[in-house]
Structure 1
C-alpha cells in the first residue's frame, strides 16, 4: 500500500495529529501528540510512528511494574520476611535463617505471597503458627500482638543457644 503524497491537517497516526498539511516533496510532517508534545516526523515514518515517545515510555513502565505494590506495608512485610530468612548480614538472621527458618519457594514471589495471604487486616502482623516451621501457606496467619506473644520460643537464658542452630538449648550450656 502506498502512502498518500499529501497529509491533510487533522490526519491521525496513533496518538499523533498533523498540524500542517504535508505537501508532495516535503520530507517531514508537523504534528502534535495527544500528550501535548509538538513533533516533526519523517514522512517515511508517518503511519508507523504512533506517538512522540510517550507511548513507548508508558508501555515500558507497565512492563517493569509487576504488582505495583512496592513501598506498601504489605510489600515491606514480605521483603523483611525474605531478608530475615535469607540474608546472613541481617540483624535478626540468628533468630530466623540462622536457625533454619525458611521461606517456601512459592513465596519468593511477592504476587504468590499476596494471593495466599491476602491483605493484612489493620492491627495485625505476619505470624508463624509453628515457630520452628518456615514461612509457608499452611504455617502463617495474620495475628495481633497478644496472640503472637503467646506463640513465642521459650527464653531460657540460663542454658544459652546452640552456636550451630541458634536455638535455645533445653539442657546444658553453649559449647
Structure 2
C-alpha cells in the first residue's frame, strides 16, 4: 500500500468524524493539481438535505472553514439564484434545532431551567435527522412565523410530539399560565373575558376584573351574573380580540393545553 493511499485512508477516517453538518463522504479523498503546480486533497461529499454530491477541500473541512453544505450556507447569508426552495426551509429548521439544543443541554442558557433543567430532552440523533423529519412532516410549510410546540408540554422534543403553532398559541402553552374551565375548554384566565364578552355581550364586567375573579377560582357562570358598578364603560383593554376567540373556536387550531 503506497504512502498516498495510506494518507487518503487516514484523511477519510478524519473526515467521517468531522463536524460537517449533514454531509457524508462515501469515498476517500484524492490529490488534485491546483494553481502553482502543487497538489491538494479534495473529497466528494453527499448532502443529506439537498441530495447533491459536491467536492470539498479537505483542508477547509479539517481546519473548520467548511462546516455545512453550501446549499444551507448560501441561504443563511441571503440566498443565491441557484438555491432550491426547500433549502430555505431546511436552514430555518436547522436554526430551530440549534435553539432547542441550547435550551435542553446548555445549563448556561437562560431558558435551560424550563427545559433541560426539568428533564425535557431533545431526542433526535442529529441536526440532520431533525431537519429531514420536519421537512417530511411539513413539506410545503415555511417555518417563518410559526413555532415548534410540544403536543405534551411535559414530553420531549421527539418524533410524534411536535406540532407547528402560531406564536400566540405557543405563548399560551406554558406552565406560567393559569387555566380555567369554560364550557369544556381549558382557557387561559386572561383570555376568558374575550369568550364571555363574545357569548354574553350584555356582561358588564371589564377584562381586568374578569381575569382577577377567574384567578380567584370564581366559576365563569358566577362571573357573568355579576354586575359592574354603574353603566358599563369599556376600558382601553376591553376590546374583544377575534384572534384569541378563534384559538378556542376554530377546529383548525390546536387544542390549548
Q: Give the TM-score normalised by the residue count of structure 1.
A: 0.51
Aligned to 1:101, the other structure's residue is in SS state coil
Q: What residue number does 1:47 align with?
A: none
Aligned partner of 1:77 among 96, 101, 105:
96
Query: Which of residues 106, 113, 116 is equivalent to 2:130?
Result: 113
Whole-angstrom distance in 1 between the partners of 2:108 and 2:130: 23
Pick aligned residue for 1:127 from 115, 131, 149: 149
> What displacement does 1:146 show?
2.2
Post-superposition CA distance 1:52-107 (Å, at most 9, x none): 32746934257965555466433221111011111222111111111111111xx1
Looking at secondary structure, tell me which structure has more helix per residue. Answer: 2
Distance 1:67 1:54, change over 3 A: closer
Where do residues 24-63 of structure 1 align in structure 2 (5 Å cutoff)?
33=34, 37-39=35-37, 52-53=39-40, 55=42, 58-60=56-58, 61=60
Decide which structure has the larger Cα Rg and report it.
Answer: 1
Structure 1 gap segments, 5+ residues each: 1-13, 17-32, 40-50, 157-175
Q: Residues 103 and 58 from structure 1, CA distance in 2 versus in 1: closer, same or farther, beyond 3 angstroms?
A: closer
Identify the range of structure 1 (84-93 vs 64-73) with the bigger mean alpha-carbon deviation: 64-73
CA deviation after TM superposition for structure 1 residue 124, in Å = 1.0
* Number of matched pairs: 111
1:102 corresponds, among 113, 118, 121, to 121
TM-score, length basis structure 2: 0.36
Q: Secondary structure at the match of 1:53?
A: strand
Structure 1 pair 99/55, CA: closer, same or farther in 2 (3 Å)? closer
Unaligned runs of 5+ in 2: 1-30, 44-54, 77-90, 179-257
* Paired residue secondary structure (1:91): coil
Asked whether the equivalents of residues 42 and 56 of structure 2 are also in contact (C-alpha less than 8 Å), the reply is: yes
